[in-house]
Structures are given as structure tokens and as C-alpha cells.
């Protein structure tokens, strides 16, 4: 090793064996992405994969011994999984936390209306989106409809050969005044209305013939009445499938890489663990990160304390002693350097595609505002365990100073007195309906999570 920092492209260092493992891993990731387009679907897929590897739902008061595998499903939207380690939880746990909610269009509580002989559903966008990216693309509708009688129906409208939905935009021929607006103003939030039908019911006397036709179809098929939409939690998500990108197939395009690409990496790393870990390993799929991690299923929720405290109690350990000795990898994506938009990047300090998992000492913006700035000792620790375990890593900021910034769940974990650092997959077009990552970085993030879980600390 020389005294100057070497920045390696992963393809110059990866072995043939690793390359095969990378392809297998990424094929599984693509399947996961096609099965899970919402946080609820991520929890369902997670449980399916975990139970196949012997994980059991945690039941209060359950006796636990080293090697036991349990999960805690928090209201179907957030899940924590643990493999009990050989050492006491008083010596801390190795935690990896990612989020599985992604930017999207949520339905308003009273979404359905008709206008000029067409039917629409009104949405309220969730998370940081560029609104103009969500028009004129095929969309699906996924979510939970809770009926008055107590039955809950999870719907996925628009999958496979089913019809899709779309938000329309002005034709360029009439777009003169729209073109003079800023990108942020060109598509107002109240324009994000899904076109869902145009055929009326036969009865010419009916008051809202177009809206009624849609409701009749929904009622016939799912028993839903309009009032049920008021208690529903439904999202419009892109209808694209996850797919390989590029002639060399080296990249993956999908909706929701942020942050399912890290969630899948930590889940796989946990499920692939062959030996009983030294320290208890905990994997978290958090909800609500894109809107600030608040709420009962967000990372700030005491649901995490409840689960960890249950594990601690089984060993007679104080939760805060456990937290104070624990380590958390806040596994979240970062912005990959994009040569088409060089003006927002500082090229010495950006993550690069195919350079491995990107460690972020701090996130935030405008003078590190809102950042969980990891200590030097923490950065040194993570680079040590990555290097010792053949994990290709890089250190990154997100964009030029004062260009913007972002946050993760890192500060929610650090606030619990858990030593925490951010690291994850670099993403191109982050928060777009179709984001791009590299296979190599996905694979290295998986290896990075494995190294964290297996570390003796």
C-alpha cells in the first residue's frame, strides 16, 4: 500500500468468483424489487425470505439463546430482525438500519372525482420528488384498503397485464407558458391527478356517470365503496420493472433503490450468516424516512426500543447499557457523481459508480446542518472492518457545499447513544421514478453489511 490514496474502479479489483457471486446476488435483488414496491410489500417479502431461513416472530417473554433468529413486525410497515449472538447484549449489538419507504404519490383521503367526462384520483406527493418526472409515465396503484366491517384488503392494481394509470401533461404545442415557468412550478402538486377512466355508466340520468362507473368496477371486484377510500392508505408507484441497464448489463434500473437497495443488502447479509455471530446482529427496515422518520413506524418510534428491550430483558440486560455499546450502520444511498451534472459535484469528494459502498461521515447541508457527524474513531473502525473483509469502499459527501443536502436515520440512531455511521450504495437520478445503481456497488454493500454483522468489535 502506497502513501497516496488509491481510488480503484471495482472492475479492476474484483475476482472472478466475486463477480459470479455479484451476478447471483443482483438477480435476487431484482426479484425482490419486482415483488416489493411499497414498505408494506417489503415487510411481506422480508418475512417470506426470513422464515425460509428459520426466523420466527418474536413473542413477548420468549426465551432466547445464541443462534436464535427472531423478527418483530411493527404494524406491517416496519420490521426488525435479530440473530442472537454468543455474547451478552450488555456488550452491544451490531445493527444495520435501512428504510423501505420511497418517494411516491399517496392518495388524498377523498381522491375520486370526474371532470369533463373523465375520472381521476387526486394524490398528495410523499417525500422529495421532482413533480415533472411523475407525469406521462405508467403508474400502478398499491395499498391497504380498510373496510368498515373490519376486513383489510391489500390491493395491487396495474400489475402484469392489468391496465395502468397515468398523469397527463400539456402538449408542447400548447406549452408556451408552461415552458417559461421553473421546473419546480411547471407541474403544481394539485395537478398530480391520475387518469383512471373515461366510460360512463349507461344511466344518462346518473349524477356522476363517470365516477360512478369506476366505483361500480371497484365495488364489483373488491367490495369497496367510496367511503372506504377515506381510511385507505394507497400509493401510486411507477409501473416499471427492475431491469439490467447498459450493453454490459453492469447497472440496475428500478423504482425505489432508495433505500431498498441497502435494505436488501442488510437482509441478505443477515440471512446468509452461517455461524452464530459474536454480537447480536439486528437488521432494520424503517418506514417514513423520506418524510422525517416520524410516526409509529418511523425510526424515531419507540417500537425499536420495545423490540431491543425485549431482547435485553431476556438476558437481564439494561437497554441503555446495550445501546451505549452497540454499533449501527445507517445503510442508506448517496448521490453518485453524474458527469452530466458536474456543476453540483465536487469531484474529489463524491461517490463514484463501481467504486464500492460509499461511507458518509456526515450528511446534512448548509454547514453540516442536521448532520449526524460520525467521530473519527467511528470512521476508522468502519474502514478497518471493510478493508479486512475485502469490501471495496469509498468515502463521500453529497454534492458541492450549499448545493443542498440530505438526511438519513443516522441521527435517530446516534441520538440513542448508539455509535452510528452512514454508508450505502451510490445512486444516479435518486428519487426519480426510475433510479440507477451499479451491480458492483450493490454487491459491495451486501459484503459491507456482512462485515458489520460479523465484527467482534
Q: How far is the CB of 183 from Mn ion (least distance, A)?
A: 19
Q: How far is the CB of 408 from Mn ion (least distance, A)?
A: 6
Class of residue 255 by CB neighbours under 10 A (exposed 0-12, middle 13-18, buried 19+): buried
Q: How far is the CB of 432 from Mn ion (least distance, A)?
A: 11
Cα–Cα separations (whole angstroms), residue 455 to 302, 356, 418, 442: 26, 19, 16, 20
Q: How far is the CB of 9 from Mn ion (least distance, A)?
A: 25
Instruction: Please state, in angstroms and rounded to a whole number, the distance separating the CA atoms of residues 263 and 286.
Output: 9
What residues does 118 pair with on adjacent strands? 115
Residues 171-230 that bind Mn ion (CB under 5 A): none
Residues 233-272 that bind Mn ion (CB under 5 A): 258-259
259 vs 287, beta carbon nearer Mn ion: 259
210 vs 446, beta carbon nearer Mn ion: 446
Give the x-and-dash track for 284-323 against Mn ion (CB under 5 A).
----------------------------------------
Instruction: Please state, in angstroms and rounded to a whole number, the distance separating the CA atoms of residues 29 and 373.
Output: 30
Instruction: Please state, in angstroms and rounded to a whole number, the distance separating the CA atoms of residues 425 and 263.
Output: 11
CA 388 to chain centre: 28
80 vs 332, beta carbon nearer Mn ion: 332
Cα–Cα separations (whole angstroms), residue 101 to 104, 137, 288, 290: 9, 20, 6, 7
Size of the site for Mn ion (CB under 5 A): 3
Q: How far is the CB of 457 from Mn ion (least distance, A)?
A: 25
Q: Which of 91, 114, 332, 422 binds Mn ion (CB under 5 A)?
A: 332
Cα–Cα separations (whole angstroms), residue 360 to 59, 227, 398, 414: 36, 46, 8, 14
258 vs 454, beta carbon nearer Mn ion: 258
Q: How far is the CB of 256 from Mn ion (least distance, A)?
A: 10
Q: How far is the CB of 406 from Mn ion (least distance, A)?
A: 7
With CB atoms as reference, the residue minimizing the distance to Mn ion is: 259
**Straight-line distance from the first to the last Cα atom of the chain, in angstroms, rounded to the nearest whole number:** 24
Cα dihedral 42, 46, 49, 52 sign: negative
**CB under 5 A: which stretch of 68-76, 304-312, 332-340, 414-422 binds Mn ion?**
332-340
114 vs 258, beta carbon nearer Mn ion: 258
18 vs 363, beta carbon nearer Mn ion: 363
Grid cell at residue 215: 366505483
Instruction: Please state, in angstroms and rounded to a whole number, the distance separating the CA atoms of residues 337 and 426.
Output: 8
236 vs 455, beta carbon nearer Mn ion: 236
Quick one: DSSP state of residue 167? -
Residues 371-430 that bind Mn ion (CB under 5 A): none
List of residues contacting Mn ion (CB under 5 A): 258-259, 332
Amino acid at each position: 500500500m502506497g502513501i497516496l490514496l488509491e481510488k480503484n474502479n471495482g472492475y479492476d479489483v474484483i475476482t472472478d468468483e466475486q463477480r459470479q457471486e455479484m451476478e447471483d446476488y443482483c438477480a435476487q435483488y431484482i426479484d425482490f424489487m419486482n415483488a416489493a414496491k411499497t414498505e408494506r410489500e417489503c415487510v411481506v417479502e422480508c418475512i417470506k425470505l426470513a422464515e425460509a431461513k428459520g426466523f420466527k416472530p418474536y413473542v413477548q417473554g420468549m426465551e432466547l439463546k445464541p443462534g436464535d433468529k427472531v423478527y418483530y413486525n411493527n404494524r406491517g410497515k416496519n420490521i426488525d430482525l435479530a440473530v442472537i449472538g454468543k455474547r451478552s447484549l450488555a456488550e452491544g449489538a451490531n445493527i444495520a438500519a435501512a428504510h423501505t419507504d420511497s418517494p411516491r404519490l399517496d392518495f388524498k383521503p377523498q381522491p375520486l372525482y370526474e371532470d369533463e367526462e373523465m375520472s381521476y384520483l387526486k394524490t398528495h406527493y410523499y417525500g422529495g420528488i421532482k413533480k415533472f418526472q411523475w407525469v406521462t409515465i405508467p403508474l400502478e396503484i398499491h395499498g391497504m384498503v380498510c373496510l368498515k366491517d373490519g376486513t383489510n384488503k391489500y390491493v395491487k392494481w396495474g400489475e402484469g397485464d392489468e391496465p395502468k394509470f397515468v398523469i397527463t401533461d400539456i402538449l408542447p404545442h400548447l406549452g408556451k407558458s408552461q415552458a417559461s415557468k421553473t421546473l419546480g412550478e411547471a407541474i403544481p402538486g394539485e395537478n398530480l391527478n391520475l387518469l383512471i377512466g373515461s366510460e360512463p355508466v349507461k344511466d344518462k340520468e346518473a349524477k356522476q356517470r363517470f365516477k360512478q362507473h369506476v366505483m361500480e368496477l371497484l365495488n364489483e371486484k373488491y367490495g369497496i365503496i367510496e367511503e372506504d377510500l377515506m381510511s385507505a392508505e394507497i400509493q401510486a408507484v411507477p409501473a416499471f420493472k427492475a431491469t439490467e441497464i447498459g450493453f454490459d448489463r453492469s447497472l440496475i434500473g428500478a423504482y425505489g433503490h432508495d433505500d431498498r437497495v441497502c435494505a436488501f443488502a442488510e437482509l441478505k447479509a443477515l440471512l446468509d450468516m452461517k455461524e452464530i455471530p459474536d454480537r447480536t446482529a439486528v437488521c432494520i427496515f424503517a418506514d417514513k424516512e423520506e418524510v422525517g422518520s416520524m410516526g409509529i413506524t418511523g425510526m424515531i418510534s419507540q417500537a425499536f426500543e420495545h423490540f431491543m428491550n425485549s431482547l435485553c430483558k431476556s438476558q437481564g440486560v439494561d437497554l441503555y447499557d446495550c445501546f451505549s455499546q452497540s454499533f449501527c450502520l445507517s445503510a442508506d444511498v448517496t448521490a453518485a457523481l453524474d458527469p452530466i451534472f458536474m456543476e453540483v459535484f465536487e469531484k474529489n469528494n463524491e461517490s463514484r459508480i463501481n467504486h464500492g459502498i460509499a461511507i458518509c461521515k456526515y450528511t446534512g447541508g448548509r454547514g453540516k446542518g442536521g448532520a449526524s457527524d460520525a467521530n473519527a474513531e467511528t470512521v476508522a473502525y468502519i474502514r478497518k472492518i471493510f478493508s479486512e473483509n475485502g469490501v471495496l469502499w469509498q468515502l463521500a459527501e453529497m454534492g458541492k457545499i450549499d448545493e443542498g443536502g440530505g438526511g438519513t436515520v443516522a441521527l435517530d440512531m446516534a441520538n440513542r447513544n448508539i455509535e452510528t455511521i452512514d454508508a450505502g450504495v451510490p445512486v444516479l437520478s435518486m428519487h426519480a421514478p426510475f433510479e440507477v445503481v451499479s451491480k458492483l456497488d450493490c454487491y459491495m454493500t451486501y459484503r459491507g453489511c456482512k462485515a458489520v454483522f460479523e465484527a467482534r468489535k
